[in-house]
Structure 1
C-alpha cells in the first residue's frame, strides 16, 4: 500500500470533491488541484500561474478537462476514478518514489510523472511553463530556517548521537556508499576537515543508521546538509534528531538563519523546523 504525504492527501481530497460518476480524474485535474492546495511548492506553482495568466486561467483550463463516460473510468484505491493516463501517472510516481528510496509519495513524484506522460500539457502551457513546473515541484529545493526562536527538544532514548570523530571517517564513507552512492562523499570529506568536525552520526545498537552535516557542502557557512538515514529507519525520528543537532550548532554560532541546501522531502523540513522555500525566479530558468 502506497503512503502519501499530508500535502498529497489534501490534493486527493480536493480531487475527490471534483469527481463524480461521470468524470474521471485526469493529469490536468491533478495540476489544478495542486494549485488549489496552495501550500509549499504548490503555492509557488499557483503564484507562478496567477502572475502569468491571472485568475481566469483556472476557469479556462477547466474547460480543457476531458469528461469521460462511466464505462471508461478506472477504479483505484483512491476516493475517485481516473483515466488511463492518470493511472500511468500514479504508477510512474510510485516507481519514482521507490527509485529515490523514499517512503512517502509526494507532489514532486506526481509532477515528474505527469510531465513525462501527459504530452497534452504542452498544448496548454509553454515550454517555459513546463520547465518552471519541474523546477518548482520536482527538484530538491533550498530552504530557509529562522533560528532566533528555535529551541527544539533533542532527547531520544533509543538513539546515541554524537559528533563524528576523525577515526569514524571510513565507517561513515562506507555507510554513505552503501546507502546513497558516491554523490555526498566530497561533503563528508569537507565536514571532516573542520576543526570541530561538522558531522553528527546516529547509532542504534552500535550500528550507524544515519548522519547529518552542516557547513560541509562546498564548506558554505550557515548551511545544513547533506543528511542521510538508512532506509529502515526513515520513520523512526532519526532524521529529526540529527537535523536538530546540526541546526543547534549553527544557532550557537550566532547565525540568525540556516540555509538547507537541496532539501528534500520538502514537507519534512516544513513540519519539523518550519523551513520556508526560497522562491525560484523566472530568470533562474537556465541555472
Structure 2
C-alpha cells in the first residue's frame, strides 16, 4: 500500500512537532493542508469552537501509549492503529494509495465519544460530489494518450473488464451508459489491452455528470486516469456545458491536482 503525497507531507510536518507523532499532532498538520475537505473541517471546528475539545480528546487517547515505528516515522500506538485502519479501508475499496482521509477516519474512530465528531467523520470518510464550473480560463492540458469513445463492438470487452476489476455495481452503471443516448463511455488502452474507462452523462443542457472511472491496478500512477478525466472535461467544455459534476469522488487529492474544484451539495444547488 502506497502513501499519498499529502499523507507524507502531514507525517513529515507532524514529526517536527512531536516525537513520537501523536494523534493530535497529526490532526494539527492535517488542518494546515489546503485541500477542500481540510477547509471544510477547519470551518466546522471554527463554527463550533471545538478544536481544543477535539485535541484534548486525542491527547487523552495517546496518554501513556507506547510508540511504534512505521517506515521511518515513530508513532503512538493509536496513530499506528489508525494507519492500519486506513490501509484496510483503502484496500477494501480496491485502492492502491492510502490517503490522509483514511488515516484521520481511523483516528476519530478510536475516540470513545465518536458520535460527537460524526460531522467530521462524514466529511473525511464519505465520497463527495465535486463541481467544476466551465469554461475554465486555462483548460488543463490533455495528455497524449489514445482515449476514445467506446463503440458497440467494444461493449462486451468493456463490461467484462469492469466486472472483473470493479464489480457488478459499476458494471450495471456502465451498461446503462453504453445504451443510453445521453451517456458517453471513454476507454484507454495499454498497447492492445484495456487500461481504463470513464463515463459521463449529459444530465441537462448545462451539466454533465462524470463517473464512474476506473483504471487497472497495474496501470495506476501512469497518467491513464488523468487522461480519461481531462478527455471527458475537454469533450464537455467543447460542447458548451457550464458544469462538470464529478459524482461520488473517492481520491479527492487526485482531482484537486488537476482541476479547480468546489464541494457540491444538493441543498445549496
- Say whether the fold is shared (TM-score over 0.5): yes
Mapping of residues 1-287 of structure 1, within 5 Å = 2-20=1-19, 24-53=20-49, 57-64=50-57, 65-66=59-60, 72-79=66-73, 81-116=74-109, 118-122=110-114, 127=115, 129-148=116-135, 149-156=137-144, 159-195=145-181, 198-215=184-201, 221-278=207-264
Between the aligned partners of 1:202 and 1:213, the Cα distance in structure 2 is: 12
Q: Distance in 2 between matches of 1:68 and 1:155?
A: 49
Shift of 1:105: 1.3
Tell me the SS of whatever aligns to 2:3: coil
Q: Per-residue deviation at 1:160?
A: 2.8
> So what's the TM-score if we normalise by structure 2?
0.86
2: CA distance, partners of 1:92 / 1:155: 35
Quick check: which one's strand share is greater?
Answer: 2
The TM-score with structure 1 as length reference comes to: 0.81
1:91 deviates by: 1.5
Distance 2:18 2:83 in 1: 17
Task: Give, in angstroms, the shift of residue 264 of structure 1.
Answer: 1.8
CA positional deviation for 1:112:
2.8
Quote the offset at 1:241 in angstroms. Answer: 0.8
Q: RMSD value over aligned CA atoms?
A: 2.8
Unaligned runs of 5+ in 1: none
Residues 209, 247 of structure 2: 8 Å contact kept: yes
Return the offset for 1:203: 1.1
For 1:142-167, what per-residue CA distance to the aligned partner results, in whole angstroms no more than 9, with x for missing partners? 101122125333242xx432110012
Structure 2 unaligned spans of 5+: none
